[in-house]
Amino acid sequence: MEENKFKTNETEEQVEITVERKLIELYTLQQVDSKIDKIRIIRGELPLEVQDLEDEIAGMETRIEKYNEELDKFAKDIADYKNKIKEATALIKKYEEQQNNVRNNREYESLTKEIEYQSLDIQLCEKRINDCTKKSEMLKVSLEDTKARLEERKGDLELKKSELSSIVEETEKEEEELIARSKESEQLIEERLLTAYKRIRKNARNGLAVVKIERDACGGCFNKIPPQHQLDIRMHKKIIVCEYCGRILIDEDIVGMYNNN
């Protein structure tokens, strides 16, 4: 009878150690995967920043191209208006000469009206030249400002690209080592638990599938954990999950065992 009791206690102890080991291995896997996540987040933000800068630069270059097109159009319009002024001035001179040879008042008045019309046309052209010149000057200011900002953004882009290249180079080897460690840890976890762990990680916003109790609450969703559940978690006799978020819960002892490994 005593021998059977001894065997039962030994079996219970073995189960306890086994569950405890599972929790340690799950937490170990979580720590490795979290480091991989961190590397990818840091590296993931930089390409987005590079892409944003490239898009901004492309937008500025398009804007500069349009500014130049508008400036060319203003220059052409000004040249056309100046030609019209020359033509109108020549016509006025012609009509004034013709006035000296008119035969009656009717012809004189007709020529006078033509001279007035050409004079008004000259005034209109001068006004439009003035408007085009003002708009052109304002456009040149915007163009120079955009060019200055473009050069600044190009400098920022070179720095970001250099930073990205440096981080990729620095973290690539570390990531490969961590991935290898993650795969090693996965080999120590039974398939059912590993599948559950991956499913929880996929659904968790921060990628945390295994969290410790902090101030009597789940370290993932921060909901309070009932005292009985906390006791079960500290016993290490079964895998306990948060009833709110589904994350696997561990206590400070498991973290300590992980740190001492």
Cβ atoms of residues 194 and 62 within 8 Å: no
Of all residues in the chain, the percent with pLDDT exceeding 70 is 93
For residue 224, name the pLDDT band (cuts at 50, 70, 90): very high
What's the CA gap between 153 and 102, in Å, rounded? 70
The residue count for the chain: 261
pTM of the model: 0.52
Q: Is the pLDDT of residue 130 over 90?
A: yes
Secondary structure (DSSP) of 147-215: HHHHHHHHHHHHHHHHHHHHHHHHHHHHHHHHHHHHHHHHHTS-HHHHHHHHHHHHHSTT---EEEEET
State the pLDDT confidence band at 5, using cuts at 50, 70 and 90: very low
Q: What is the pLDDT of residue 102?
A: 82
What is the pLDDT averaged over residues 191-204? 90
For residue 193, which of 32, 28, 25, 31 has the smallest C-alpha distance? 25
Residue ranges of domains in the chain, CATH in brackets:
2-189 (1.10.287.1490)
Q: Considering only residues 192 and 16, tell me which one the structure prediction assigns the higher pLDDT.
A: 192
Tell me how far apart the alpha carbons of residues 19 and 26 are, in angstroms, rounded to a whole number: 10
Instruction: State the average pLDDT for the chain.
Output: 87
